[in-house]
Structure formats: structure tokens, C-alpha cells
Amino acid sequence: MSTLTAVDILTIHHRRLLCCRAQERVIRSSLFEKAWEAATTLQRSEACDIISKIDSVALSNWVSKIVFSTLDRYSMKILRKLASYHRIKNYSRIDKTKLIAILKEKGIRHAN
């Protein structure tokens, strides 16, 4: 570490800060809140471990895993918002079962 320059330290610090900001964006998203509410105690513990490691990609994947494994729990209003956000045509005319299948088929990962 003694061979590092002040610029190197600044660069390292800046990268860590950017990672923290990316993670904060995930945590502030409405999908994170929905995932947290739907998660079990064990799943919440897993999320806390990911947060402590400051890994925004892993946290986004955790949110997706929780949200899309529980799509059937969501109301049509929320499902339609997801469909609208991802530009699924005629989403307002599609029944819940079909809409869930289309969302899963599209592989939608995030809807902030």
C-alpha cells in the first residue's frame, strides 16, 4: 500500500463511492420495497449480507428473484404498471395469468 499515490487512493475511494451510489439506487427503487415486503426472514438476511458487501448487481438480482418468483401475489394494477413500463402491447386487455407469463417470458429484470 505504501507505493500508492494520492491519486491512486482517490481513484479507489471514488470507485467505492460509485458502488455505494449504485446500491443506493437499487434500495430506493419501488421494486426493492416490494421485494422486501414479500421476502421471508431468510431472504431478508441474504439481502442484508449482499448490502454489507456493497454489491449492487447481486442486490438487483436478489430483487428480481424475489419479485418474479412472486408475480402472482401482485395486483393487476402493479402488473399492468410493469407491463406498461416495459412496453408490452395491449397489456390492459390481458388477464393476470397471461400477463405474468408474458412478463416472465420477456425476462424482465428491473422496473424502477
Mean pLDDT for the stretch of residues 89-93: 92
Residue 106, pLDDT score: 80
Residue 109, pLDDT score: 47
Residue 4, pLDDT score: 92
- For 71-85, the pLDDT digits (tens) are 777 788 888 988 888
* Contact present, 90 and 102 (Cβ < 8 Å): no
Residue 108, pLDDT score: 65
